[in-house]
A and B are shown apart, each in its own frame.
Chain A
Amino acid sequence: MAEPLYLRPRLDGRAASLLAEPGLLHSLVDALESPLNVVLPEQAAANADAFQEVFTRHRLKGRVLFAHKASASSALLRRLAATAAGVDAASLGELRHALGCGFAPERITATGPKSLRFLWLAARTGAAVAVDSADELDMLARLLRAHGLPRCRTLLRLSGFSAPGVRVRSRLSRFGIPVAALDDVLARAAGYRDVLDLVGVSYHLDTTSLTEKATAFEGCLQALGACRDHGLAPDVVDIGGGFGISYLAHREEWDAYTSELAAAALGARPALTWGGHGYGLRNDKGTLRGSLALYPSWRPAAGGHYLDELLSAPSSSALGGRPLASLALEHLYDVHAEPGRALLDQCGLTLATVQEVRRPPDGGADLWVRLAAKADDIALEEHGVLLDPVLLPRPGSTGTSTDSGSGGPVAVHLFGHLCLETDLITRRLVHLPRAPRPGDLLVFANTAAYCMDFHSSRSQRHPAARKIAAWRSGGSWTWCLDDAYWPLSTEGDPQ
């Protein structure tokens, strides 16, 4: 075959070290079944520290709040509860889970679409509430007065920011209070002062664009100024999340792959996907149309680096052009960030057993590989994230597969085990360094955020993946079921 188009995942310290234990991983899957999710709580704690470090560098009193929705894992949440991080709960269930995992209410912000019960529990326990609309503000105030609840720390989630001179055609958002309507909402908030303690404003934009976020950040600084005109004195800017993960180890592989994908869409090379799927690209009389509906799997600045760039971004000339972090600092404001995906970078792996390897009926060179897992167990495709699994041969296996003869790189299609044509682990033709055999493991890297349990189903009575937490202890790896994990050793020391 031609030069293999690898998309090799970035594997840092802990994840790489665990992958160096194929015997352990095979025996875990043998015992707990395929697919199996592994989370790495220590990595989550290290990531939270790294984010905090960015704030410290900018001299800001910042707070990192984990966006719970990225993962259902108890182990990750309990480990984060043992750090200085807070948590952003977006449902009644997430709030209960956060409280039960050890987050005191002072460290919890309730966000997202809210039911009365969710609001009640947040207010009753003393969590902060990020209010999404004027109506929700009224609903919260009514609830607080009706039940005689303690004064509720409240943030206003804002949207619809604009930069001077430029109209940004931002994606329509279902969330947030348009800044144009801020004055009215602040007047209402001032009227609720007896029950509401307005502590800050927030935004959460669904975009990878730094300039859009910088505009919103600046809009929030101006909104905090407007609060003072209503006699309110909030001092928190919550800049949401969306700092991203760089999934791939090498930029060159991403550049080469996406170029070839464009060439395939134009018909200039054989298809790279099942059924010639274009991932959003299409050929219009020789001109490439559409746009790549893929997560940018290699990113020059993700996670803490992205936050650093955002904090360093210059404000507009109306605010003097100083970096946003300096402006926040000068105003004595605290900055909160709510990373979900980025906080779980390198915090999890999904393991799946190879069930069958065969040649396609048309005699093509690509192998068809079926895994003991469904696409929704490894929902990379659901998020447009492309990366190669790591092949872990079964130790001591000498069996020959249909086509392991050459021993060199092969191109494979990865199918799930649902009885459904569309159950493709990825639509992509994946290049592996050698042909897998039944019984081998494929390890999907960096699945902790959104990929391992966000979409998982029990379709066709296939089990949902079990989840375990793993950590290094005294030079070797140890593990327990996710729900049995607490951040302390059997002797009670921190682990």
Chain B
Amino acid sequence: MRYDRITDAIGNTPLVRIDPAVHGLRHIDLFAKLEMLNPFGSVKDRAAWNMARAGLPGAEADGSQIVELSSGNTAKALAVIAGMHGLTFKSVTNRMRIPETKELLLLLGAEIEELPGQSECLDPTDTEDPLTLFHQALADSETPLLHTDQYFNPRNSAAHFEGTGPEIVADLDGRAPDYFIACVGTAGSSTGVAGALRAHRPDVEVVGLVAAKSDFIPGIRTRDEVHEVGLFDPDTYDTLATVDSGQAIEGMVTLIRRCGLLAGPTGGAAYHGALRHLREADARLAEQRDDGPPAERRTAVFIVCDRVEGYLSYIRQRRPDLLGDTARTPNTLAGLSDADVAAAPAVTVDEARTWIEGADPLIVDLRSTYAYNALHLAGSVNITDEILGELLRAGLPFARSRPVLLACPVGEQSARYAALLTRMGHPDARSLTGGIVAWRDAGAPLTRD
């Protein structure tokens, strides 16, 4: 497939059937619309391109900056589109809670502006919300701006009304599915697709998925927040159901591990929400089949919004088990008992000062480099605890012939590593009792050389 521009590759995404052995529905065929295969990685590529494209000639002429309130995929797509057209892009947000997203956006050349958090000493008469401030800033801006306004811009849902929806119908041999399930973020994709499908058959059942009120799933609004979206119209949805982050991650894991679809949490939420809704429908179809003439097979489509790679820290925070402990080698702190640590060789500050004079041990400072650079024991080397841990996995990095003095802030980490070095066969590794805090408190010298 040959294109002149990467933006030409937006859309025409595959519709992939989920193996019935995985979902277990007997009378419904379930399809995933793989929006994660858009060139910038998500369903938002379509909306971003459709919203920006109309304003691009004008923006290029007067060097406008593209501006959007986005904490994720829309910003990603707009940043790339801006860059391709020699424009800058600014993302304004108070919802950017995934560190990888922030870093990726910076890599893509975006400027990020964060809105302030809620005041702790509240002034209830000040009802100016951050969004009002944002809009004032837009109005006062001296540089010309192209505000794509994804929560209110009809070109957002139009991208799906004209693209995503008709593609689904075409891939289902000209028939709209019986069920359509989508997560609600800007409501652009669900509104646009639902509109296109209903134009083909008015009785398509549309399920909108929102997050539980105090939960957080990237890209999905909560039950209350959807009311703040201009494109959101409750009448679009036959059902508005809630998914939580645990269910989203479970669904995501099934898509990844069983279906080979490297979906992010939003795709997982859509899969979970779809299955929960369809299981009931499937059971009803089974009853009909038992009672009377065979019911027709039904079809259902859900949207996989984006890919998993950008959400590792989100997953680590909620389900560290999925990122698994790496295989334990014997040379790790995890293998030490409290008794091992208690028995680790140690020296007090006074003893250490004499010992340093006499035996010239290698002094290893386990603190971070930033702290080490500020102040440290004269002649010490800085090997931060994580790096020492890595080194020790492979074996002893010090000669057995040279004594080692380990130092950390209060003597806890150093005791653990002294115990580990001893277990690994180092004959004279000692921990500085009380750490560098005790050293400082005893008036012993610290240098900054």
Contacts and interface: CB of A to CB of B under 8 A. Distances in A.
B367 interface: yes
A250 to B, nearest CB: 12
A259 interface: yes
A294 B124 contact: yes
Given A212-B116, A291-B131, A327 B370 contact: yes
A287 B232 contact: yes
Nearest to A318: B370
B120 A242 contact: yes
Contacts of B116: 168-171, 207, 209, 212
Contacts of A171: 116, 119
A294 B119 CA distance: 10
A330 interface: yes
Contact of A291 (B129, B369, B437): B129
A169 B115 contact: yes
Interface string B92-107: 1000000000110010
B335 interface: no
B384 A320 contact: yes
Interface string B115-135: 111111111111101111100
A206 B368 CA distance: 30
B381 interface: no
Interface stretch (A35-43, A186-194, A381-389, A408-416): A381-389
A289 B225 CA distance: 10
Contacts of B130: 169, 291
A160 B232 CA distance: 37
A416 B224 CA distance: 33
A262 to B, nearest CB: 5
A330 B409 contact: yes
B113 interface: yes
Interface in A133-185: 165-171
A255 interface: yes
A332 B127 contact: no
Nearest to B232: A287
B312 to A, nearest CB: 14
B282 interface: no
B133 A330 contact: no
A258 B126 CA distance: 18
A383 B111 contact: no
Given A170-B116, A171-B116, A288-B227, A59 B412 contact: yes
Interface in A9-25: none
A255 B214 contact: yes
Interface in A201-259: 206-209, 211-212, 225, 228, 241-242, 244, 251, 255, 258-259
Contact of B119 (A59, A166, A208, A211): A208
A330 B408 CA distance: 7
Nearest to A284: B230
A311 to B, nearest CB: 14
A208 B370 contact: no
Interface string B386-421: 000000000000000000000011101000000000
A242 B103 CA distance: 28
Contacts of A480: none
A108 B103 CA distance: 42
A291 B412 contact: no
A354 to B, nearest CB: 25
A255 B213 contact: yes
A360 interface: no
Contact of B121 (A259, A332, A383): A383
B374 A228 contact: yes
Nearest to B94: A209
Contacts of A259: 213, 223-224
A295 B121 CA distance: 8
Interface residues of B, number: 52
B266 to A, nearest CB: 22
A358 interface: no
Contact of A329 (B127, B374, B384, B410): B410
A287 B229 CA distance: 6
Nearest to B411: A59
Contacts of B133: 169
B124 A207 contact: no
Nearest to B97: A211
Contacts of A381: 124
B112 interface: yes
A472 interface: no
A405 interface: no
Contacts of B119: 171, 206-208
A327 B130 CA distance: 32
Nearest to B132: A290
A293 B124 contact: yes
B120 A332 contact: no
A428 B49 CA distance: 45
Contacts of A59: 409-410, 412
B436 interface: yes
A116 interface: no
B5 interface: no
A159 to B, nearest CB: 13
Contacts of A251: 214
A169 B114 CA distance: 6
Contacts of A300: 214
B380 to A, nearest CB: 13
Contacts of A295: 122
B127 A280 contact: yes
Interface in A467-489: none
Contacts of B92: 169
Nearest to B439: A332
Contacts of B371: 327, 330-331
Contacts of B408: 330
Interface in B254-281: none
A262 B223 CA distance: 11
A332 B227 contact: no
Contacts of B213: 255, 259
Nearest to B133: A169
B114 A166 contact: yes
A276 interface: no
Most buried by B among A167, A262, A320, A332: A332
A165 B101 CA distance: 12
Interface string A432-443: 000000000000
A332 B122 contact: no
B2 interface: no
A319 B410 contact: no
A153 B412 CA distance: 32
Nearest to A262: B224
B435 to A, nearest CB: 9
A48 interface: no
Interface string B206-230: 0000000110000000011001111
A491 to B, nearest CB: 39
A56 to B, nearest CB: 11
B448 interface: yes
Contacts of A327: 368, 370-371
B113 A384 contact: no
Q: Which A-B residue pairs are the 9 nearest by beta carbons?
A: A209-B117, A291-B129, A330-B371, A280-B127, A330-B367, A242-B120, A288-B227, A207-B117, A320-B368
8 contacts: A170-B116, A206-B120, A242-B120, A288-B227, A291-B131, A293-B125, A326-B368, A341-B120
Given A169-B130, A322-B368, A382-B124, 13 more contacts: A165-B106, A170-B116, A207-B118, A225-B374, A228-B374, A242-B120, A262-B224, A287-B228, A290-B127, A293-B125, A295-B122, A331-B371, A332-B409
Interface of A: 59, 61, 165-171, 206-209, 211-212, 225, 228, 241-242, 244, 251, 255, 258-259, 262, 266, 279-280, 287-291, 293-296, 300, 319-320, 322, 326-327, 329-332, 341, 381-384, 450
